[in-house]
Amino acid sequence: MTLPEAANRAELLQGTLDMLILRTLLFGPAHGHQIAKHIQRTTDDVLQVEHGSLYPALHRMERKRWIVSKWEKSKVGAVIGLCGAFAAGQLMSGLLFGVSPVDPATFIGGAAGLLLVAAMASAIPGIRAMRIQLVAALVHE
């Protein structure tokens, strides 16, 4: 396939995805996951739009001003978060007998613990990724 043919094919695929997205949005506003599921459902699982294709298409369409996006805070998420924080606070207050809520040592220890967990959570996958031989992985693909 020549370079111009490949470019034409890419434009055709992008145009097809754009039309599917626009057809989905005719029914009203939807977020990305809803759009992907609607396309999958209406094509009887023949087309499955991955997020790596969907979100760049949505951004491209937004730049062309074909669609408008907006960000909204979820009220349900805020209520769940507040209830969870309250429950965790009640649980922890029963476990921490004799510790003041504003104890500096507790704050410093808690922050250090969270920092250690965050460092480990980011370092372990990085170390495992460095062990992979890139050429061998690409040849295997």
Q: Could you list the pLDDT tens digit for every one of the 141 residues in the chain?
A: 665 565 556 565 666 888 889 999 998 888 888 999 999 998 888 888 888 888 999 999 999 999 988 877 778 888 888 888 888 877 877 777 777 767 788 778 888 999 999 999 999 888 888 887 777 667 765
pTM summary value: 0.48
- What is the per-residue pLDDT for 1? 61
- Give how far Cα 31 sits from Cα of 28, 38, 67, 77, Å: 10, 11, 12, 16
- What is the per-residue pLDDT for 137? 67
- What is the per-residue pLDDT for 37? 92
Which tokens hold the place of 92? 């922890």
Q: Could you tell me what percentage of the chain is helix, strand and coil, using 3-state DSSP and rounding each to the nearest 5?
A: 70, 0, 30
- What is the per-residue pLDDT for 117? 94
